[in-house]
Structure 1
Amino acid sequence: MAKDAKIYVAGHMGMVGSALVRNLEAKGYLNIVTRSRSELDLLDQKAVQTFFKSEKPDYVFLAAAKVGGIHANNTYRADFIYENLMVEANVISSAHQAGCLQMCFLGSSCIYPRDCSQPIKEEYLLTGPLEPTNEPYAIAKIAGIKLCESYNRQYGTHYVSVMPTNLYGPNDSYDLSNSHVLPALIRKAHEAKVGGDKELVVWGSGKPMREFLYVDDMADACVFLMEQGISDGVFNVGTGVDVTIAELAKTVMKVVGFNGEILFDASKPDGTPRKLLNVDQMKDLGWQAKTLLSDGIAKAYADFLTSTSA
């Protein structure tokens, strides 16, 4: 990518989009285009088409999405599939119509079957049933992958799909009604510490295994792919290492400084038993994640303290 190339980051105010902007700016890219939702509603097809015709970006990072944890995904199923489908369709189609050849589409590791072999390879896509609690979101993301693939095949575009593992970091959501497990644990541990509680309640059995990637590492991987000129395909992005939810909770407690006990709420769902990505493709290209889990959680906790005191 030329340093003066026009780069549109869709969803720049979210955790993923803001990390992409930070990474691009740090690497000297000078012409980054952003729009807030009030400035451009990505659900509005006509507005998106007008934006692309006017701006004509050279590169697009499609990070805009409706996201949430198990509770939000399972409760707002129609919203998750509708909004994500519409945003993907509008942006990908409008980018092509405006002559944009290069795009990085951000998907999710939940696209893979619930019970597929571990670590999960990209080739396992569409080989089995999805996790029921987030199936609508996963189907929307699979549609985004297939849109990119289909535009590449039919029109010769260069649209790449990145499948990050569970992300965390600055600008994450700490709202317990829709947050993911790691930010939820950070908030719960902090509130337990401040409130003088003796227990930290953790959803489920604590046995499921999850992989966690610091969001700035994810952004670095996306920019890396664009800089390498990768023109097609699906790429897993993760650390290649997973931990149990119980181990995660203990690490969060240590970082936060809460010395109580863990109480597992078995009435709440566990979700997928294990989800570890095979990241050999990215390693073969020369990219690896750099941030250790404990270091990343410390950075995320510092962000949480800043956001809650603002």
Structure 2
Amino acid sequence: MRKDSKIYIAGHRGLIGSSILEELQKQGYTNIIYKTHQELDLINQKAVENFFEQEKPEYVFYAAAFVGGFIKQRKYPAEFLYNNIMMQNNVINSSVKNKVKKLIYLASACVYPKDAPLPLKERYMLEGAFQANNESYAIGKVAGIKLCEYLNLEYGTNFLCIAPTSIYGENDNFDIEDSHVQSGIFRKIYLAKCLNENNFKELCNNLNASSKDEAINICKKYGIFDTHIKMIGTGAAAREFANARDLANFCIHIACNVNFKDLCEYDENKNLISSFVNFTNEDPVSIKELAFKIAKIIEYKGEIIFEKELSKDDGTLRKAMSKEKFNKLGFKNKIPLEEGLKMMIEKYKNTNGGGGIKV
């Protein structure tokens, strides 16, 4: 990939896509194209086809997705499946038609069965049922991985797929109902700190509330009080967390240095058993430990209360992804969790994060 190669980023406003854009720009890539949803609706097949025929990108980073936390996923499973499959199919198919040299497709750790053995190896995909909380999203991501694989085998394309662990970063979405777990937890603790310190000016500003009483009522709805926070689940579930900047640089690394054949794994009978790669980082951290770590960083003095009994809200209790294939690709992550959280929190404060909660 040359510095003047024409590069299209699908989903450039999202957590991962925005990080890819920033890292490409930092590294001196000068011919990057991207469109907002209003400018290009990826669900519209004709619009996507016209865009590719006109622009002829050489490289594509597919980081677009219809996303949200497990609350939203349970509420809108049909939308998650339809929207994600339509968007990715349109982009991937247009990439084939217009002879894109390399496409990087971002999948998810949810492609693994809920009861798969740990650490999760790429070959375990499709060997069992999905976690019910995100089944529709998982089906869409598996479909994307398999479509890229089949196209590579049938047409000789070079479409590479990555299944990232839980990703966080400065450009995350901090809406409590519609966010990743780490950004959602941070937002609740941040609001609780405002309440705990009687900082009602910041509380109202953060929630776009017109009065102190309105802000307090919004907080109560989400279990946020002046002395404590009620968290969903027991906090026992453990995840590996990786920074979006590290993932962005990994995407660029494989676009420059890795080919489809490098990701392929075969059994003893030479049958292809996996064709994507995990992206992971440190050992798993429990949700409870993550919450306490965030509380310490922002100096929250109140109490954090988790449920005592395990429930469906805990999801899969532990996820640890195999690093075996990842370690062979010549890339090293640079941002440890605590440093990355501090970066995320600092930017949130400096940009006056928040902007309201959808209610």
In the alignment, is residue 277 of structure 1 matched against residue 321 of structure 2? Answer: yes
Identity of aligned residues (%): 40
1:264 CA displacement: 0.9
Q: Which residue of the partner structure matches residue 231 of structure 2?
A: 202
Query: Aligned AA for 2:313?
Result: P
Query: Aligned AA for 2:345?
Result: Y
1:303 CA displacement: 2.6
In 2, Cα distance between the equivalents of 1:185 and 1:96? 40
Q: Which residue of the partner structure matches residue 67 of structure 1?
A: 67
In 1, Cα distance between the equivalents of 2:121 and 2:20? 25
**Match of 1:160, SS?**
strand
State the TM-score, normalizing by the size of structure 2: 0.84
**Match of 1:200, SS?**
strand
Listed as ranges, the matches of 1:171-186 within 5 Å are 171-186=171-186
1:309 CA displacement: 6.9
Listed as ranges, the matches of 1:89-108 within 5 Å are 89-108=89-108
Q: Which residue of the partner structure matches residue 242 of structure 1?
A: 284
1:288 CA displacement: 2.1
Listed as ranges, the matches of 1:46-65 within 5 Å are 46-65=46-65
**Match of 1:269, SS?**
helix
In 1, Cα distance between the equivalents of 2:282 and 2:143? 25
> Which of residues 197, 215, 219 is equivalent to 2:248?
219
Query: Aligned AA for 1:238?
Result: T
Query: Aligned AA for 1:38?
Result: Q
1:69 CA displacement: 1.0
In the alignment, is residue 308 of structure 1 matched against residue 340 of structure 2? Answer: no
State the TM-score, normalizing by the size of structure 1: 0.97
Contact 1:203-1:268 within 8 A present in 2 as well: no
In the alignment, is residue 147 of structure 1 matched against residue 152 of structure 2? Answer: no
RMSD over aligned Cα atoms = 1.3
Listed as ranges, the matches of 1:103-142 within 5 Å are 103-142=103-142
**What is the CA deviation profile of residues 222-261 of structure 1, one whole-angstrom value per residue up to 9, with x for unaligned ones?**
1111110323530100104111111111101011210222
1:206 CA displacement: 1.2
In 2, Cα distance between the equivalents of 1:158 and 1:120? 24
Residues 294 and 240 from structure 1, CA distance in 2 versus in 1: closer, same or farther, beyond 3 angstroms?
Answer: closer
Query: Aligned AA for 1:228?
Result: N
1:101 CA displacement: 2.7
Q: Which residue of the partner structure matches residue 260 of structure 2?
A: 231
Count of matched residue pairs:
310
In 2, Cα distance between the equivalents of 1:22 and 1:231? 25
Residues 268 and 136 from structure 1, CA distance in 2 versus in 1: closer, same or farther, beyond 3 angstroms?
Answer: closer
Q: Which protein has the larger Cα radius of gyration, Structure 1 or Structure 2?
A: 2
Query: Unaligned stretches of 5+ in structure 1?
Result: none
Query: Aligned AA for 2:314?
Result: D
Residues 126 and 40 from structure 1, CA distance in 2 versus in 1: closer, same or farther, beyond 3 angstroms?
Answer: same
In 1, Cα distance between the equivalents of 2:231 and 2:247? 26
Contact 1:6-1:58 within 8 A present in 2 as well: yes
User: Which piece of structure 1 moves more, 271-280 or 228-237?
Assistant: 228-237
Query: Aligned AA for 2:319?
Result: K
Contact 1:17-1:64 within 8 A present in 2 as well: yes
**What is the CA deviation profile of residues 141-200 of structure 1, one whole-angstrom value per residue up to 9, with x for unaligned ones?**
000001100110111000000111001112211111111210011101111111012212
Contact 2:175-2:354 within 8 A present in 1 as well: no
In 2, Cα distance between the equivalents of 1:76 and 1:234? 27
Q: Which residue of the partner structure matches residue 300 of structure 2?
A: 258
**Match of 1:50, SS?**
helix
After TM superposition, the runs of 4+ consecutive aligned structure 1 residues lying more than 6 A away are none
User: Which piece of structure 1 moves more, 191-200 or 77-86?
Assistant: 191-200
Query: Aligned AA for 1:296?
Result: G
Contact 1:209-1:274 within 8 A present in 2 as well: yes
Query: Aligned AA for 1:79?
Result: E
1:304 CA displacement: 2.2
1:37 CA displacement: 0.7
Contact 1:169-1:303 within 8 A present in 2 as well: no
In 1, Cα distance between the equivalents of 2:354 and 2:10? 28
**What is the CA deviation profile of residues 120-147 of structure 1, one whole-angstrom value per residue up to 9, with x for unaligned ones?**
1111111111100100000000000011
